[in-house]
Amino acid sequence: RGALLLERLDASRDLTEVWIDEACEVIGGLLGELHRGVGPEFPRLTDWLDGQLVDLAATEALPRRVIDRATGLYRDLAPSAGHTLLHTDLHFENVLWREADRRWVVIDPKPMAGAPGVELHPVLRNRVDELGTGAAFRWSVRHRIELVCDAAEIEEDLARSWTMIVAAVQAMWATQGPQNPAAKDTVTWNLTLQKALED
């Protein structure tokens, strides 16, 4: 009949107002619960990224060093991406409180199968004002990654590398849409993020 039964969650209570360290630890714990091996029924992360990296390589709207860095990282990481279930959009607004058992739960997945380290970008592109600028920005993004990775048992170096790839793709998308201040800010922010994650 087209009916969908949903569990009762508190739509007014997400992680946007929770202390950032605690919020990152919650997200990391949830990712750790979700990360299970899956079969071919889920779309593969690498199949999707293969097409994105072709487009990225052809773009003239981003610095060549950004494109080359992302392409090189992807070439190294793709063969070992694996078949882990990914949410792919787990950020602070996609976690709601369930009063029935008093715990945080995940909503709005966009599932794929691939490498867990690729899932950190959403945690960084939300609550952006709290990241600061300059040296504070570098410290803050690395701190968030450390907290999520510790809780989810993801290798930090891999997470940083995957996030640099995603940042380049996100910057490319912003160059393809209407050229307005918001798009330019998205490009700049993602390029800054990629630089902050470099060793």
* Token pair in block for residue 114: 């691939």
- 89 as an active site residue: the answer is yes
Beta-carbon contacts of 191 under 8 Å, excluding residues fewer than 6 positions away, are: 62, 63, 66, 167, 171
Cβ density class 59-84: b for 16+ within 10 Å, e for less: eeebeeebbebbbebbeebbeebbbb
Phi then psi dihedrals of residue 112, to 5 deg:
-145, 170
User: Residue 142 CB: number of other CB atoms within 10 A?
Assistant: 15
| Helix (H), strand (E) at residue 96 | strand 95-98
Active-site residue identified among 47, 76, 89, 101: 89
What residues are annotated to the active site? 89
